[in-house]
A and B are shown apart, each in its own frame.
Chain A
Amino acid sequence: MCETCGCGDPDLVPIEVHEAILSENERGARHNREHFTEQRVLVVNLMGSPGSGKTAILEATAGALAGKRRLSAMSGDLATDNDANRLEAAGIPSRSITTGSACHLDAKLVHEGLHDLPWRQTDFLFIENVGNLVCPAVYDLGQAVNVVALSVTEGEDKPLKYPVMFRKADLVLLTKVDLLPHLPQVDVAVIEDGLARTMPEPAIIQVSAINGEGIDRWIEWLEGKRVAALSEAPTEERAEA
């Protein structure tokens, strides 16, 4: 008997599920995270609008860490290999994940992408997500940290317009700050105020891939996260025990 609506249909059975609709993706993300923790690789999910400077930041990161740290990257791209090619040219072993019409990466796509990328031999794996300020925020990939690139030319109100994305961010890289002298209408304080209302623990670094401003602070932030992640990860001895 249907007890909810009283329709009297004898065969209606209500089943309580109470489960995340994306539980399959969550399982995939947990699996990826186990791999990453085991291999002691810090995985960064880099998100942001198309043209916000994600690839340029990674090129600058490669330059700053050349000879010091081993990096790898995968780039989610709707239709081209351009980003992965740029990263390869910058010295980062990279793979493209062509998503077709999909607006985001998910845990399964990342897992498949790992198979032909030498990520195990690296210290940092950057996952450059599809350029989009909405959809990528919904899918856990197994990353250690979420970083959002927001360029100063995108408009001061972006944090308030896209609260889902900025709530998930561990760090916002405010990019293209070399352009600020030409943008009298852009007030960084307004952007910071918007972030304080959408990010519970706002962390913002102003960077420019053109003149290198702030790249040292970004590297310092990454190294700090790596140390923190490694101290939480089981040591090899403990893992074997």
Chain B
Amino acid sequence: MHEYSIVSALLARVEAEARAHGALRVHRIRVQIGELSGVEKELLESAYELARERTLCEEAELEIVAVEARWACRSCECEVPKGAVLRCPICDRPATLAEGDEIILERVEMEVPDV
């Protein structure tokens, strides 16, 4: 299960961001996970539950935005449906994954003391 290593990388990145802003704690983390990213939402959630203890994210909510896979022709950009042969029926060129392989940290909400 590689989700644990993804969560470790996520927490390291979030903690660095929090420290850079002098945050006391993190309230919410929003990530984007693509359907074809190889990351399972449920596994990511359980890994996060385990890993966040005793970090600045201990009480932070993890919001996972799922991104559906979308294949499109490289030339005419028309959509090639999921599950179909990955070739444009019009141009006969290979399709490319337009969306759906994201493993992205989008946004962090943190509590920063007034200066």
Q: Which A residues form the contact surface with B (CB < 8 A)?
A: 2, 4, 9-25, 102-104, 106, 134-135, 137-139, 163-165, 167, 193, 196-201
User: In the assembled complex, how far is the CB of residue B11 from the closest CB belonging to chain A, in whole angstroms?
Assistant: 10
Q: Give Cα A208–Cα B15 distance, bound, in whole angstroms.
A: 50
B103: chain A residues within 8 A (beta carbon): 20-22, 138
Q: Is the CB of A164 within 8 A of B38?
A: yes
Chain A hits for B9, CB < 8 A: 21-22, 24-25
Known: A10-B114, A15-B108, A164-B38. Contact between A21 and B10, CB under 8 A? yes
What CA separation (Å) do A18 and B84 show in the bound complex? 31
Cross-chain contact B38 with A137 (CB below 8 angstroms): yes
B83 to chain A, nearest CB (A): 6
CB distance from B7 to the nearest CB of A (A): 9
Binding site for A on B (CB under 8 A): 1-2, 5-6, 9-10, 12-13, 17, 21, 23, 27, 31, 36-39, 71, 83-87, 94-97, 101, 103-114
Q: Is chain B's binding surface mostly helix, strand, loop or mixed?
A: mixed
Measured CA separation A28–B105 after assembly (Å): 19
Within the assembled complex, what's the spacing in Å between the Cα atoms of A196 and B92? Answer: 13
Report yes or no: A11 in contact with B104, Cβ–Cβ below 8 A. no
Q: CB-CB < 8 A to A24: which residues of B?
A: 9, 12
B17-A15 in contact (CB<8A): yes
* Closest Cβ–Cβ distance, residue A180 to chain B (whole Å): 24
Contact A200/B95 with A12-B111, A21-B104, A138-B2 known, Cβ cut-off 8 Å: yes
